[in-house]
Amino acid sequence: MKHFLRISGLLAVLSASALASTISFTYDIPLTQTGVATAVTIPGFDSSLGILTSVTVSVETSLYAGYSATNIGQVAAELSLEVPFKESVTQGTDTLASINESYSAVIGTVAPGATITNPIGGYTPGLISTTNLVEIATYSAPSITFSDPAYLAKLSGTSSSVIVDAYGKAKGVLDSDDGNFSGSVTTAYAGTVTVTYEYAPEPGTIGMALGGTLCLLFGVRRMRSNQ
């Protein structure tokens, strides 16, 4: 009886694991100027694996900025950088994930006539590169899971693909309460989009897995009884 209960418990665990499987795709969002969308193509769910039950989307993003500012006032003044940042990841009219953050930092006190730049070695307005911009913050969007059958149907099929648009919007502002500055700020974003498909394997796959497990268990039991 104890052996039967152990076998039954093991089969229950195996059945549960066989009934739910996942497959994930992670793609990079290259360094892109804010205000410009980036299209990422992700393979659709291969329906030969089974029945798609849900899709989970997660986003990780890094915010970059470069700037140059000159104190054109008559006194030393404190300078700060503020970058409100919004990002949305969409597929068609469906919003898959979103980020709404605001970066703020005090740069320091700048003497009259002095210029401060970041990167320190020099900054070129409008140039989007990791040598011209510095990572200033990282953000992540809460993972969102979709299980609506109509939406899942759009993502199923061996030849289907998911075109995901990542759009980061930001406007960097050099601000000072007690001084007068001239300068410019360039902002960009980069990151990853991860799509995870959860599905129920085909009944034949489950049957094969359980059948193989049964054969193994009964084989072990017979060997023990013969000893």
Q: How far is CA 90 from the centre of its chain?
A: 12
Predicted pLDDT of residue 212: 47
Q: Is the pTM of this model over 0.85?
A: no
Extract the residue ranges of the chain whose pLDDT is less than 70.
Answer: 1-19, 158-162, 164, 203-227
Predicted pLDDT of residue 46: 87
d(CA 87, CA 227): 66
CATH fold of 25-200 reads Jelly Rolls (2.60.120)
Span 54-111, pLDDT tens digits? 999 999 999 999 999 999 999 999 999 999 999 988 877 888 888 999 999 999 999 9
Angle CA 170–196–136, to nearest 5: 25
The first and second tokens of residue 69, run together, are 């500012």
Which residue has tokens 């060997």? Answer: 223
* In contact, 14 and 210? CB cutoff 8 Å: yes
Predicted pLDDT of residue 215: 46
